[in-house]
Structure 1
Amino acid sequence: MSTPAEAVPPDILPITVANSTGRGEAVHLYVLGTDLASGKLGYVDQAGAFTPWPAGQNPPSPAPDVSIDGPGNGGGTEIKVPRGFSGRVYFSFGDKLDFRLTPDGLVQPAPWADGDPNKNILFDWSEFTYNDSGLWLNSSQVDMFAVPHSVSATGSDGSTDTTGAPVSGGRQAVIDSLKADPAWANTVDTRSDGTVLRVLAPGKAAGSGRLDTAYLDSYISSAWQAYESKDLTVVPFADQPDKKFIGHTSGNVMTFKDGSGAEVASFNKPSSASVWGCDGDLPSPNDQVVGPISRTLCAALNRGTLGKIDTQPSTNAADFYTNSPTNQYAKTIHANMADGKAYAFAYDDVGNFESLVHKGDPQSASITLSPF
């Protein structure tokens, strides 16, 4: 007897962007990303049609205005996305975003950089991939925390999963907490009219001179040195509990062996920048050994559990962010989320602490801009 084929999701998926912010400004939406079949960069219109970007120039030339009129306060706007697309839904308040094109494609807004034309605009984005295996939709604070929003996906059985909503007053609580900490106060961006635009993630803040570039170094050194005298066990795959890698530090290098005793990976002691970015000294190739170990190390260093919990990943959130110095940005954002989940650094999905919804058979989705 043959097994029925998995149903392929709809060609076009409706996503409702709802505005519960209580704010009066006009909202502008953008659906930008990659057509997965061709690899081309482009945009999607409100009806769900993909168009590649025209050729750009150096210096970067203005991109066409592909904004979609978004919802006023209390309203909702339906946008459609085609299956086979991965990208971002941007939302800006008041002003439209200024996108530029180079010969290599789109220049994404980077308000942490000097001279970025979007520096004084209140905006944020959700990230998604929609393909034959379904929808993945998440809020992201990997670069910055600006407009809190929840994401939802509804499956063919009518069930809806939602994540990303802050607690009541959560945005202000994050801002107040970081402003009150002298080491982190400069990570908060405030416009001349008093509007707090965003809090920068530590990697972006340190890269633009707003956070000590060596902020986490002392903790990283102590965590690294801990494994000169004991073993670190990394079990990167939850569904393969017997697949373990054993790490040991000698000098500045941590070396890992597999179950047979063969050396399979080694890492130099990472800089603060490498921990914030989960890159540099912590490269994560898309393989089954080095990448998964690196992801695990990066999550443990951001959460402050490396050095004190010797089997990783650790999954008890009560153990996270108790070290000093710690990633106050990630700590404060997670503490102010209704379900505790956020994407506060690149591998916050280690142990499933990320603000992501997934449906293999989505029928609709939504992004709700939270009150602030």
Structure 2
Amino acid sequence: MSLQVNITNSSGISSSDVHWICFGLDSDPATSSPYWSYVDVDAKGNASLKKFTKGQDCSKLFNTVDTLSTFNGLPAMWSGQFLFSFKKLPNVFNVVTGAQHDLGVQTPPFTPGTADADTLFVVVEFTNIGTEIFADCTIVDYFSAPVSIEVVGKTTASNGILKATSTRDSIFDGITALGSPWSSLVMKDKAGNNIRVLGSQHAVQTNPASIPTTIYDAYVDACWKNFKTNTLTMNCPTFGKYTGTVNASNEFVFTQAKKANVTVQKPGPGKAYDIFGCVGTLNAPNNTPLGEIAAILGASLNRTTLSNSANDTQPNCDVAGFYKVQNGVTNEYANIVHQNYKSGIYAFPFDDVCSNNNPLIDVQNPTKFNITLSDWS
């Protein structure tokens, strides 16, 4: 079944100034040795995959929306991405030495001081296995401009839609209004124009750090102290109920009858990056009890729903209680993002934990993949 891609530019930027490329792996890395490849569209509007070659001039592979906005037959791709760059090509998009057949794709850097710090670009992520497509409009790393998607197939699903009263500026203004240190997430070009809002996990890595690496310490300390005497119940979606307490070594140990214990190290002191990025002490290996527990724990810390004073059960899916400041902190980047988005969106990696509006689209037998670069006003 042919999957048609339609790109609509409603951004207010001329379509001749919106550059895009679609790239990804040509087969499943779990079962094969895939190549990094890009989508090439022939004169009849039919797409195929071509393998990247190391050192090639990738600038020639970009299209503009005015010359190509619709094509047929999006190929099967894993770790696929549409990259849209406004007003200019990114300074960095190269094929370099990597893990896949000695090839890797170097995408535009976006943190302060890097080559594309002043380049405005957005991405849409997807994996297309032919009979099913998974897609999302992630803004885990940064927010630059609104982009939404709609996939039509056995069902129809959409993602990345702002609220009717929200705009691109709403997010920049909301972060700015928070004051220090969160206002430092706003990145501007030399002319003072808004370029992006940096994701929290990258902000704690910048030099000097925009967000202190210790910002979560007081809350984590309070929670870990609490669960030395109280119990945390984890309702894992696949692996069932675990109960956890913190031991004398400050390890969170979760138990279930006739199952191996699951241990999570304390994300602190100075490990806000682990919480914002859901890595390190909160790394979540797929399809394991540790993975599900770490994901739920990471979500509860980002949303500051983990109790610091009593027994608790997670995941806590009461949205009204998300992002309440506890011990001086919550993930304010995610908070502002969700205040402005109507549909599900990834603002941190485990943002799909107990989501009533899943940020990840999953549609079987897809026929249309519609991408809209939304109005900035």
* TM-score range normalised by the length of the shorter chain: 0.7 to 0.9
Supply the distance in 2 between the matched residues of 1:65 and 1:294 (Cα, whole angstroms): 42
Q: Which residue of 2 aligns with 1:345?
A: 348
Question: 2:348 is aligned with what amino acid?
Answer: F
- The answer to whether the 8 A contact 1:253-1:269 is kept is no
Question: 1:172 is aligned with what amino acid?
Answer: D
Q: Deviations over 1:28-47 (max 9, x none)?
A: 11101111254111211233
- The answer to whether the 8 A contact 1:145-1:198 is kept is yes
User: How many residue pairs are counted as aligned between the two chains?
Assistant: 349
Taking a change above 3 Å as real, the CA distance of residues 230 and 71 of structure 1, as seen in their structure-2 partners, is farther
Q: Which residue of 1 aligns with 2:127?
A: 129
- The answer to whether the 8 A contact 1:206-1:213 is kept is yes
Matches within 5 A, 1:68-83: 68-71=63-66, 76-78=69-71, 80-83=73-76
Q: Which residue of 1 aligns with 2:4?
A: 14
Matches within 5 A, 1:96-107: 96-97=89-90, 98-104=92-98, 105-107=104-106
Taking a change above 3 Å as real, the CA distance of residues 82 and 331 of structure 1, as seen in their structure-2 partners, is same
Q: Which residue of 2 aligns with 1:212?
A: 212
Taking a change above 3 Å as real, the CA distance of residues 76 and 41 of structure 1, as seen in their structure-2 partners, is closer
Question: 1:16 is aligned with what amino acid?
Answer: N
Shift of 1:280: 0.7
Q: Which residue of 2 aligns with 1:92?
A: 85
Could you list the runs of 5+ residues in structure 2 that have no partner in the other structure? 99-103
1:323 corresponds, among 322, 325, 336, to: 325
Supply the distance in 2 between the matched residues of 1:41 and 1:219 (Cα, whole angstroms): 42
- The answer to whether the 8 A contact 2:13-2:87 is kept is no
Shift of 1:103: 1.3
Shift of 1:261: 6.9
- The answer to whether the 8 A contact 2:152-2:363 is kept is yes
Supply the distance in 2 between the matched residues of 1:354 and 1:160 (Cα, whole angstroms): 13
Q: Which residue of 2 aligns with 1:111?
A: 110
- The answer to whether the 8 A contact 1:170-1:337 is kept is no
Matches within 5 A, 1:282-361: 282-307=282-307, 310-324=312-326, 325-339=329-343, 341-352=344-355, 353-361=357-365
1:362 match: secondary structure:
coil
Shift of 1:48: 2.3
Shift of 1:175: 0.7
Question: 2:157 is aligned with what amino acid?
Answer: D
2:346 match: secondary structure:
coil
Taking a change above 3 Å as real, the CA distance of residues 327 and 266 of structure 1, as seen in their structure-2 partners, is closer
Q: Is 1:227 matched with 2:227?
A: yes
**Identity between Structure 1 and Structure 2 (%):** 28
Superposition RMSD in Å: 2.2
* TM-score (normalizing by structure 1): 0.87
1:345 match: secondary structure:
coil
Q: Which moved more, 1:86-95 or 1:214-223?
A: 214-223
Q: Which residue of 2 aligns with 1:177?
A: 174
Taking a change above 3 Å as real, the CA distance of residues 80 and 89 of structure 1, as seen in their structure-2 partners, is farther
Supply the distance in 2 between the matched residues of 1:170 and 1:233 (Cα, whole angstroms): 39
1:333 match: secondary structure:
helix
- The answer to whether the 8 A contact 1:30-1:91 is kept is yes
Question: 1:244 is aligned with what amino acid?
Answer: K
* TM-score (normalizing by structure 2): 0.86
Question: 1:248 is aligned with what amino acid?
Answer: T
Shift of 1:113: 5.2
- The answer to whether the 8 A contact 2:264-2:282 is kept is no
2:252 match: secondary structure:
strand
Q: Deviations over 1:294-336 (max 9, x none)?
A: 1111111111111267111111111110123110000000110
Q: Is 1:162 matched with 2:158?
A: yes
Q: Is 1:365 matched with 2:364?
A: no
2:204 match: secondary structure:
helix
1:246 corresponds, among 243, 259, 264, to: 243
Shift of 1:86: 3.1
Matches within 5 A, 1:185-200: 185-200=183-198
Q: Which residue of 1 aligns with 2:60?
A: 65
Supply the distance in 1 between the matched residues of 2:360 and 2:8 (Cα, whole angstroms): 18
Q: Deviations over 1:210-264 (max 9, x none)?
A: 2222222222222222211211111120x67xx1111101242111111337523
Q: Deviations over 1:64-86 (max 9, x none)?
A: 531122149xx954465202443
Supply the distance in 1 between the matched residues of 2:38 and 2:144 (Cα, whole angstroms): 23
Supply the distance in 1 between the matched residues of 2:373 and 2:222 (Cα, whole angstroms): 40
Supply the distance in 2 between the matched residues of 1:79 and 1:305 (Cα, whole angstroms): 45
- The answer to whether the 8 A contact 2:150-2:370 is kept is yes
Taking a change above 3 Å as real, the CA distance of residues 219 and 133 of structure 1, as seen in their structure-2 partners, is farther
- The answer to whether the 8 A contact 1:164-1:337 is kept is yes
Q: Deviations over 1:71-110 (max 9, x none)?
A: 49xx954465202443110111110123122211111212
